[in-house]
């Protein structure tokens, strides 16, 4: 049977896959995975032809009615009619759009254009706000460019030392561990994750800070580097600015003082800095553990400052990077589905950027809306007098993935119109007024941009089920019914327009074509013209700021927004497990995966469990100031006694986000998923 070369539907490693016409999946040789897949990738074929697959539009005539099957004309006509009526009554911002970091580049681009030109609304953002925005903001202010990994993943093969801050890659993207086998690993994580276990087993270190104090740890490491004479002074002189200002704040965090706040032994800090400074090829990589805080941008900046002080970024064989999470977490933030952004990673408030993009779109720059609300703020405004009355959701399951999920449910219920385009009946889709069944990864053409900024072709291996349309066809069909042109449904046509819109921007795709990708070229942006080979490594000569230098940013410790007290004495943190992905809407429906982890759990130290009257294997309530989540108790002796951990893949009463804190980083507007105060209670009757 013919098989098609494509990529995994899940995470940002975008492992190479073969998919045949029956939906059978096999690993495919590709630099990030070298033929291997994780359990999620191997079982992803189960999503194709899944018995719960949405295959016909569903419509709920009123909130008290059940969803009922309708034809596409009825569904799209109803949505268009409601949009027209709500905008006529309340103005263009009455309609909002919510996108996703798993959407292809073409979808992300067309959604951004559809919001600004088709709907004339400023109210668009996406779930990447929950997962990469702090790293993006910190990368931009340090380097002038935000590309998760500014070097190919294969550069890590030769690393001698790698520090992973808040990155549990052994579970989130296991094939990446194959690139780290030769390196001594230092893992920063409140939990003894599988990644931390591997580090310790191979002679590395696990640094186990109090949740929310990673920034202090990074400052302590910088302090040790300075005092122990391990700075790269020539690099700082030639390639950076801002060291003195950053040091003025770091100077107060000598390792012993940092230890008192973060709990990591000062001796370990000195050891780690000596390892990093003493190696020739070394990397600092961060992920969500460092980013999902009310001070996540500053925390990432603290890790970047350390990397700059040691002379890593832009040096061949060394570097700083962030391990992107969602499948198109990189491309998803480049093409205009962020509330403050236009294609090409341009600012929506920059007059030159507005003029360029408006020219491609054939509209007057003055007619383009300005910045809208960020994701959490957008969800909080739904149905309020000054907020959107309708929400169109593409590829996102906000009832599970957004912070303070109980409040999100209330806001969705207050809408006049909730429309969800999705593949499977996730929690948010089932709460919608209109559900639009759409094609998935191996059923459509498109491109993704992986964690190293490489643009990849997703190819169609089989046809979607009858009755299913692509997201591009949905947007195109809605635009047509609203009487606006310029929304093609053909992926290559959309990509070619994206290339023109991105030309000259930071994320410049102008030289990347389907033809070049299909010919097998490895193209990383920026790639400004078709003769350009792409840019696998950034910053080797200069950084993205006008002076070519990287910036150290002065940052200091700020406690987490919510601290434990007598009523809520523990810190809860959240994360992923190997067999599930994001809100679990897909992986919970794959029998081989859900058999491994079928329900939520709470990891708790045995002493803490005993104090709360909990028994290993029985059910508990995890209670915060906002709500409670049910989870089965797992006693884990290696966990900090002041900390509990919840996976965020489960819905309804088990949703970890029932307890999380929606407080936002002031710069990135990322919520503080990684720390909130909770107590544990036995679940009555369990």
Where along the sequence are the contacts to ligand SF4 (CB under 6 A)? 8, 10-11, 13-15, 33, 37-38, 40-41, 173-175
* Orientation angle between helical segments 214-227 and 243-250, nearest 10 degrees: 110
Tokens representing 55 are 């295959």
Which CB, 323 or 393, lies closer to ligand SF4?
A: 323
Give min distance, CB of 605 to ligand SF4, in A.
30
Which CB, 326 or 476, lies closer to ligand SF4?
A: 326
Residue nearest to ligand SF4 (CB): 41
What span, in angstroms and rounded, lies between the C-alpha atoms of 675 and 438? 35
What span, in angstroms and rounded, lies between the C-alpha atoms of 649 and 599? 9
Give min distance, CB of 652 to ligand SF4, in A.
24
What span, in angstroms and rounded, lies between the C-alpha atoms of 192 and 207? 9
Residue given tokens 């520090």 in the structure block: 163
Which CB, 41 or 150, lies closer to ligand SF4?
A: 41
Give min distance, CB of 268 to ligand SF4, in A.
29
Residue given tokens 């070394």 in the structure block: 282
Give min distance, CB of 44 to ligand SF4, in A.
7
Radius of gyration of the chain (CA): 24
Give min distance, CB of 395 to ligand SF4, in A.
16
Which CB, 169 or 390, lies closer to ligand SF4?
A: 169
Virtual torsion, Cα 665, 667, 670, 674, nearest 10 deg = -40
Phi and psi torsions of 207, nearest 5°: -100, 125
Numbers of helices and strands, H then E, in the chain: 23, 30
Give min distance, CB of 190 to ligand SF4, in A.
23
Which CB, 38 or 382, lies closer to ligand SF4?
A: 38
Give min distance, CB of 532 to ligand SF4, in A.
27
Q: Quick one: three-class SS letters along 330-382?
A: CHHHCCCCCCCEECCCEECCCHHHHHHHHHHHCCCHHHCCCCCCCHHHHHHHC
Which CB, 19 or 37, lies closer to ligand SF4?
A: 37
Q: CA 589: distance to chain centroid?
A: 21
What SS3 state is found at 155?
A: helix
Which CB, 26 or 556, lies closer to ligand SF4?
A: 26
Which CB, 15 or 136, lies closer to ligand SF4?
A: 15
Other CB atoms within 10 Å distance of the CB of residue 548: 13
Where do the H-state alpha helices sit in 514-613?
514-518, 591-594, 606-612
**Burial level of 62, CB count in 10 A (0-12/13-18/19+)?**
exposed
* Orientation angle between helical segments 255-262 and 266-278, nearest 10 degrees: 120
Which CB, 44 or 535, lies closer to ligand SF4?
A: 44
Which CB, 141 or 198, lies closer to ligand SF4?
A: 198
Tokens representing 674 are 């990684």
Give min distance, CB of 459 to ligand SF4, in A.
16
- Of 45, 240, 130, 78, the C-alpha closest to 674 is 130
Which CB, 272 or 585, lies closer to ligand SF4?
A: 585
CB 677 within 8 A of CB 571: yes
Q: For residue 258, how many C-alpha atoms fall within 13 Å in the half-sphere facing its CB?
A: 32
User: CA 557 → CA 105, 176, 307, distances in Å?
Assistant: 37, 31, 18
What is the torsional sign of CA 122, 128, 132, 136? negative
Give min distance, CB of 11 to ligand SF4, in A.
3
Which CB, 47 or 86, lies closer to ligand SF4?
A: 47
Which CB, 332 or 671, lies closer to ligand SF4?
A: 332
What span, in angstroms and rounded, lies between the C-alpha atoms of 395 and 491? 17
Give min distance, CB of 468 to ligand SF4, in A.
22
Give min distance, CB of 170 to ligand SF4, in A.
10
Which CB, 39 or 347, lies closer to ligand SF4?
A: 39
Give min distance, CB of 277 to ligand SF4, in A.
31
Tokens representing 589 are 């429906």
Which CB, 33 or 396, lies closer to ligand SF4?
A: 33
Give min distance, CB of 27 to ligand SF4, in A.
8
Peptide bond connecting 526 to the previous residue in cis, omega within 30 degrees of 0? yes
Give min distance, CB of 35 to ligand SF4, in A.
11
Q: Give the contacts of 36 (CB within 8 A, at least 6 positions apart).
A: 15, 27, 174, 175, 178
What span, in angstroms and rounded, lies between the C-alpha atoms of 171 and 178? 13
Give min distance, CB of 8 to ligand SF4, in A.
3
User: CA 437 → CA 172, 431, 467, 477, distances in Å?
Assistant: 28, 14, 8, 14
Give min distance, CB of 370 to ligand SF4, in A.
36
What span, in angstroms and rounded, lies between the C-alpha atoms of 344 and 109? 10
Tokens representing 82 are 């409601």
CB 9 within 8 A of CB 47: yes
Which CB, 79 or 153, lies closer to ligand SF4?
A: 153
β-partners of residue 105 are none
């Amino acid at each position: 049977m013919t098989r098609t070369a494509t990529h995994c539907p899940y995470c940002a490693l975008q492992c190479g896959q073969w998919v045949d016409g029956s939906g059978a999946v096999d690993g495919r040789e590709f630099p990030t995975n070298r033929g291997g897949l994780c359990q999620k990738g191997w079982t992803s074929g189960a999503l194709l032809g899944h018995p719960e697959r949405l295959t016909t539009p569903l419509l709920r005539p009123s909130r008290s009615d059940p969803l009922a099957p309708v034809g596409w004309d009825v569904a799209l006509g109803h949505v268009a009619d409601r949009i027209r009526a709500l905008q006529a009554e309340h103005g263009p911002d009455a309609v909002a759009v919510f996108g996703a970091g798993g959407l292809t580049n073409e979808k992300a681009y067309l959604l951004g254009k559809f919001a600004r030109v088709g709907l004339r609304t400023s109210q668009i953002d996406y779930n990447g706000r929950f997962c990469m925005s702090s790293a993006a903001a910190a990368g931009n202010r340090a380097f002038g460019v935000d590309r998760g990994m500014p070097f190919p993943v294969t550069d890590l093969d030769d690393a001698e030392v790698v520090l992973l801050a808040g990155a549990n890659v052994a579970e989130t993207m296991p094939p990446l561990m194959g690139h780290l086998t030769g390196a001594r690993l230092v893992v920063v994580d409140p939990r003894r994750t599988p990644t931390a276990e591997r580090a310790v087993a191979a002679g590395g270190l696990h640094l186990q800070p109090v949740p929310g104090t990673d920034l202090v740890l990074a400052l302590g490491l910088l302090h040790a580097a300075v005092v122990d004479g391990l700075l790269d002074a020539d690099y700082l002189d030639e390639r950076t600015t801002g060291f003195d200002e950053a040091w003025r704040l770091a100077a107060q965090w000598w390792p012993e003082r940092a230890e008192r706040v973060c709990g990591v032994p000062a001796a370990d800090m000195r050891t780690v800095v000596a390892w990093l400074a003493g190696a020739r090829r070394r990397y600092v990589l961060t992920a969500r553990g460092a980013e999902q805080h009310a001070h996540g941008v500053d925390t990432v900046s603290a890790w970047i400052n350390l990397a700059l002080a040691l002379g890593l970024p832009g040096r061949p064989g060394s570097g700083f990077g962030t391990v992107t999470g969602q499948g198109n977490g990189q491309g998803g933030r480049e093409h205009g589905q962020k509330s403050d952004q236009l294609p090409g990673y341009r600012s929506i408030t920059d007059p030159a950027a507005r003029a360029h993009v408006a020219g491609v779109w054939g509209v007057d720059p003055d007619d383009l809306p300005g910045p809208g609300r960020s994701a959490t703020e957008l969800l909080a405004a739904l149905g309020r007098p000054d907020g959107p009355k309708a929400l169109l959701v593409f590829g996102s399951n906000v009832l599970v993935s957004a912070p303070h999920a109980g409040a999100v449910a209330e806001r969705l219920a207050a809408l006049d119109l909730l429309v969800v385009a999705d593949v499977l009946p996730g929690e948010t889709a089932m709460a919608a007024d209109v559900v639009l069944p759409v094609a998935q990864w191996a059923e459509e053409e498109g491109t993704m941009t992986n964690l190293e900024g490489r643009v990849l072709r997703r190819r169609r291996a089989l046809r979607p089920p009858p009755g299913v349309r692509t997201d591009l066809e949905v947007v195109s069909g809605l635009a047509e019914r609203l009487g606006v042109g310029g929304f093609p449904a053909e992926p290559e046509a959309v990509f070619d327009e994206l290339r023109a819109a991105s030309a000259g921007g930071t994320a410049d795709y102008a030289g990347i074509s389907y033809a070049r990708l299909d010919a097998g070229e490895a193209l990383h942006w920026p790639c400004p013209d078709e003769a350009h080979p792409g840019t696998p490594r950034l910053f080797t000569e200069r950084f993205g700021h006008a002076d070519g230098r990287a910036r150290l940013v002065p940052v200091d410790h700020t406690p987490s927004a919510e601290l434990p007290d007598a009523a809520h004495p523990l810190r809860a943190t959240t994360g992923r497990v190997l067999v599930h992905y994001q809100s679990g809407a897909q992986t919970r429906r794959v029998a081989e995966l859900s058999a491994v982890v079928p329900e939520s759990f709470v990891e708790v130290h045995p002493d803490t469990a005993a104090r709360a009257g909990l028994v290993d294997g029985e059910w508990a309530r995890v209670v915060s100031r906002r709500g409670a989540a049910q989870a089965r108790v797992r006693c884990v002796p290696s966990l900090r006694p002041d900390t509990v951990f919840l996976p965020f893949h489960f819905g309804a009463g088990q949703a970890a986000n029932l307890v999380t804190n929606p407080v936002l980083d002031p710069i990135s507007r990322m919520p503080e998923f990684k720390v909130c105060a909770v107590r544990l209670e036995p679940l009555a009757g369990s």
